Amino acid sequence: MNWLQNIIILIIGFLLSQILIAAKTHHRFIAYLLGHTRTTTGGLLTATLLLSYSLSIFFSNTVVVLAMLPVVRKLMAVFKNVDNRKTLAALFYCALIFGANTGGMASLTGSPLNVAAVGFASFHAFPGTEHLTFFSWLMVGIPATLMLILAGRWLLLMSTPVELELSVTPVLHGKGSLLPRKPLVFFISNITLILIFSAFQFFFTPDPVISGLNIIDLGLILYLLVILFFSFVFPRRATTVRNALKNIIFLVLYLTAFPIIFVSKTLEQLEKRLRIPSRKAYTALDRFLLDMINRFWKRLFGETFTSLSIHNYNSVLSINQIMLEIPYFGLLLMSFTAALLLLIISVGDNPATSEIDGWLFVLFKNFSSQAISSAENPVLLFGIMGVSTIFATEIFNNTTVLFVLAPAILAVQPVFHSEQLLLLLLVTAAASGAFMSPIATPVNALAFGGLEKVSIKTVLRLGFFLNIIAAIWIATVFLMISRIFPVEQV
């Protein structure tokens, strides 16, 4: 079950990234970088770009953005007395989303959209889907995305004003900055284990042994359970049943309280970003929630919390810290956009049918179907799909575009083996290559929600040029891949 393996790898990647964050590995890496390299604007932007790209290959790019936002703020603090903070914020915003979106294309689990596309292909039994694994995607994805990373870096360096270079504080070096070796060994070991699982699935495709699950499925399920146990349950200090029980109850209490935390933090960020007065509301919610948690905790363990953000040092990961660091404004922006788009494409929908058949949806789907059917030349077909997908994503966001185009691809009568699968993957990759609009991808929305005073003009300009490069390059890559498959009528 490749879909099960992909979901498990996605969850494990999230947990591993949170473990690295809890160990402050990203801060120590930046300290090492600043302590051993020449501090320049181009160097800091390149570090942001490459770090977000590298992490997004192995972790979900939305998770990487959450982890990288504190790093970006720390790097921006290197600049002193900057008059044009909007341009500075825009450059770091672009470095972050260029890296995260491109890294998300490079691996199957790099973007949730990839997993969704593979699930769709598996459900409809597209030819070639059985060869799609974390390993096989990685082998093609990394070489293919290096071109976009180089293009993104070139655009960032060419767009950096001279005055920003002059405003970099030259000394931020910690003499004791050391490379965080143990966390890196932990990271590399786990990624190697995931690659071994995926490579074994790709090369050998083992038969099911229990309830349709093969030995790789069972191994990954066990691996996930072990990671969950040692992340949230196993006591870091005294290994006792009482401490393990405290960790379990701490986890359950905060998971139960998440809806209230979501409302409270959303109100807090709305006040901060949009100046909507809501302090009384979210402080009242925080006091109520803290009081309710303390009632249970004191009755069970005779202790009380002074704050909702208290860290549970008895476990490796503290669930409340993960919840409180989410950029809820970005999530709200994503949700509002999705709801608006759903409303728009539902106009004219016939409630008597089970599927969405609104006027705009049908128009877009028919146009896509005609474009796919009429472009018999693969060069023209892939070019049209790459350009149209990227720029449609800037308006409708990547999930909506994939939702609309997938049925159109399903209706294609393939000319060569795996044409439907390649078209679906091309659309999926291109939908992650939209770099202009803050609502185009979850990465863009979360980064925009987590950074203040971003110059929209700079973002649109840089994003437009990288969109063009990405559209041409993605179409070229998939055209080359299509040549590998034998041409045959299906």
Which residues make beta-bridge pairs with 168?
A: 79
Instruction: Quote the pLDDT of residue 175.
Output: 46
Q: Which of 275, 294, 325 is the last residue of a domain?
A: 325
How far apart are the C-alpha atoms of 442 and 306, rounded to whole Å?
34
Question: 227 and 171, same structural domain?
Answer: yes
Type of residue numbered 467: N
The number of folded domains in the chain is: 3
Q: Are 321 and 336 found together in one domain?
A: no
Does residue 63 lie in a domain region?
A: yes
DSSP structural state of residue 168: B
287 and 248 in a common domain: yes
Alpha-carbon gap, residue 141 to 432, rounded angstroms:
13
Q: Answer whether residue 271 is part of any domain.
A: yes
pLDDT tens for 177-226 read 566 677 778 878 888 888 888 788 777 778 888 888 889 889 989 999 99
- Whether 197 and 156 map to the same domain: the answer is yes
φ and ψ at 179, to 5 degrees? -65, 130
Measure the CA–CA gap between 283 and 276, rounded to whole angstroms.
14
Average pLDDT of the residues in 349-362? 68
Position 490 in a domain: no
345 with 311, same domain: the answer is no
Residues 267 and 225 reside in one and the same domain: no
Last residue of a domain, one of 199, 233, 267: 233
Average pLDDT over the chain reads 81
Considering 291, 325, 359, which residue would you say is the last residue of a domain? Answer: 325
11 and 77 together in one domain: yes
Q: Give yes or no for a contact between 441 and 399, defined as CB atoms under 8 angstroms apart.
A: no
Instruction: Identify whether residues 310 and 453 lie together within a single domain.
Output: no
Same structural domain, 207 and 287: no
d(CA 470, CA 388) in angstroms, rounded, equals 12
Sign of CA dihedral 196, 199, 204, 209: positive
Residue 466: its H or E element: helix 456-484
Average pLDDT (116-129) is: 81
**Same-domain pairing of 139 and 190:** yes
- Boundaries of domain holding 252: 241-325
Distance CA 344, CA 333 (A): 16
In this model, does residue 131 exceed pLDDT 80? Answer: no
The reply to whether 353 and 402 lie within a common domain is: yes
Q: Are 23 and 216 in contact (CB under 8 A)?
A: no
Are 94 and 50 contained in the same domain?
yes
- Predicted confidence band at 8 (pLDDT cuts at 50, 70, 90)? confident
Neighbours of 411 (CB within 10 A): 12
63-120 pLDDT, tens digit per residue, is 788 778 878 887 887 777 777 788 888 999 999 999 999 999 998 878 878 888 888 8
Helix (H, G, I), strand (E, B) or coil at 447: helix
Each residue's pLDDT tens digit, 280-335: 899 999 999 999 999 989 888 888 888 888 888 889 888 888 888 777 776 777 67
393-452 confidence digits (pLDDT tens): 887 778 778 877 777 777 666 655 567 888 889 889 998 888 988 888 888 888 887 788
Q: In the Cβ-directed half-sphere of 5, how many Cα atoms lie within 13 Å?
A: 28
Rounded distance, CA 95 to CA 155, Å?
10
Residue scoring higher pLDDT (130 or 413): 130
Q: Read off the DSSP letter of residue 83.
A: S
473 within a domain of the structure (yes/no) = yes
Which pLDDT score, from 0 to 100, does residue 36 have?
63
In this structure, is residue 219 part of a structural domain? yes
In-domain check, residue 489: no
Residue 65 counted as domain residue: yes
Q: How many CA atoms lie within 13 A of 416 on its CB side?
A: 14
SS3 of 277-339: the string is: CCHHHHHHHHHHHHHHHHHHHHHHHCCCCCCCCCCCCCCCCCHHHHHHCCCHHHHHHHHHHHH
Q: Does pTM top 0.85 for this prediction?
A: no
pLDDT at position 368 is: 63
> How far is Cα of residue 333 from the mean position of the Cα atoms in its chain?
16
